Chains A and B, each alone.
Chain A
């Protein structure tokens, strides 16, 4: 008997290209997700619902629940933003930040989401101040642990300590698997080359990434190679990405309740060439993870200048990979 229960889901963020262009409706996206067996649905409400976080008509919520019922899907997580830079020349006051988070907690509850995602840069004291309210609505607030931050970074440790000190069971983590990027993504490299990065510099940066060279050394070296503009931009991505270790999640399994399965490309052989999903799933099993792993496709921005984007096929491939890695029993014909 396994002590883990890894369930498959998808963040509608994955389909942003089709939703932006209006080629797929919300219902289309829920339907295709259900067809893949990605039954947990996560969303960024400021993408999905025009005018949110301003109040929405009850019909928006009624329609959402009708779609969940029609396709047998389950609401998992409403990702909120908290625009604490709303005012140009002054910070948003603490109490206003707390009030803003409570709007999102209410919204998550109305959508039926047990979780709501807080962005990584949010002050832990704001989240702690919301914990009792979140509990009253039965919504857990999860801070997203996203590259370049990681579980050993002091900012995340500060969150972990604040959560423990609060004693709340309604504050936790939502790790984004992009922090485990072990190789420079080919779709990034190809985009930078289209933008004018010389081949030799692009090759050097990819090699330096695999050698785990400190980003500052790589930027300096690219400058010495004569790199300018997009070449410096490509080197600078190393400041924002690193190959942290999936096993670092193990110390925090008691507060990891949802996961972003970030990916930049799924090849035809059903492999993400740069994010170690085999190792990630091993760690989640070892840690007894019980929750959703939600596809988060972020490749469109790297190819849309030159190629058509098919987010649905990309997500479908990742979901097929997860079926194998999780070890779901094969479906037998009735």
Chain B
């Protein structure tokens, strides 16, 4: 559910740090009817223009806090709320070139009552302004 709303249309762009472009970021939501504790987010996968991003190059941020995906697995208090737009950052020297990019996102969450661990996917073409 909510698959097509996972990648948000707004918030796509390069990320600057100390005057350098260190990566790119976009906003993402959970494909779920409730929020979930961060320890139950097993994976967030990104493929950019057909190229898979390494897990260690992904950062997740909500409400001003940032985690690596490994750190999220032991975050037992903070949550990704229902419909909340999280920032998914991909570390990548130089970021992305201006123009259109194909973003593929997968989210795997561990839901206590489900007899499987669902992975849900969304793909969107987003634009970095020139």
Please report the total number of A residues contacting B with Cβ < 8 Å. Answer: 29
Please determine whether A83 and B79 come into contact, CB atoms closer than 8 angstroms: no
Stretch at the interface among B17-25, B46-54, B81-89, B99-107: B81-89
In the complex, A48→B1 CA distance in Å? 17
Is B2's beta carbon under 8 Å from chain A? yes
Q: How large is the interface on B (under 10, 10 to 19, 20 to 34, 35 or more residues)?
A: 20 to 34
Is A170's beta carbon under 8 Å from chain B? no
Main secondary structure of the interface of B (DSSP, over half): loop
If A20-B82, A85-B111 touch, whether A304 touches B1 (CB-CB below 8 Å) is yes
Please determine whether B4 and A304 come into contact, CB atoms closer than 8 angstroms: yes
**Interface readout for B32-60 with A: 1 if CB under 8 Å, 0 if not?**
01111101101000000000000000000
List residues of chain A with CB within 8 A of the CB of B81: 50-51
Please determine whether A20 and B110 come into contact, CB atoms closer than 8 angstroms: no
Closest Cβ of chain A to B101, distance in Å, is: 23
**Interface readout for B1-16 with A: 1 if CB under 8 Å, 0 if not?**
1111100000000000
Please determine whether B110 and A44 come into contact, CB atoms closer than 8 angstroms: no
Nearest B residue to A87, CB-CB? B39
Is A64's beta carbon under 8 Å from chain B? no
Please determine whether B110 and A88 come into contact, CB atoms closer than 8 angstroms: yes
Cβ contact of A44, chosen from B3, B33, B37, B76, cutoff 8 A: B33
Q: Which residues of A contact B (CB under 8 A)?
A: 13, 16, 19-22, 44, 46-48, 50-52, 54, 81-88, 119-121, 300-301, 304-305
Can you list 30 pairs linking A and B with CB atoms under 8 Å apart?
Answer: A16-B1, A19-B83, A20-B2, A20-B5, A46-B82, A47-B33, A47-B35, A48-B82, A51-B35, A51-B79, A51-B81, A52-B35, A54-B79, A81-B112, A82-B112, A83-B36, A85-B110, A85-B111, A85-B112, A86-B39, A87-B39, A87-B76, A88-B39, A88-B42, A120-B113, A121-B113, A301-B2, A304-B2, A304-B4, A305-B3
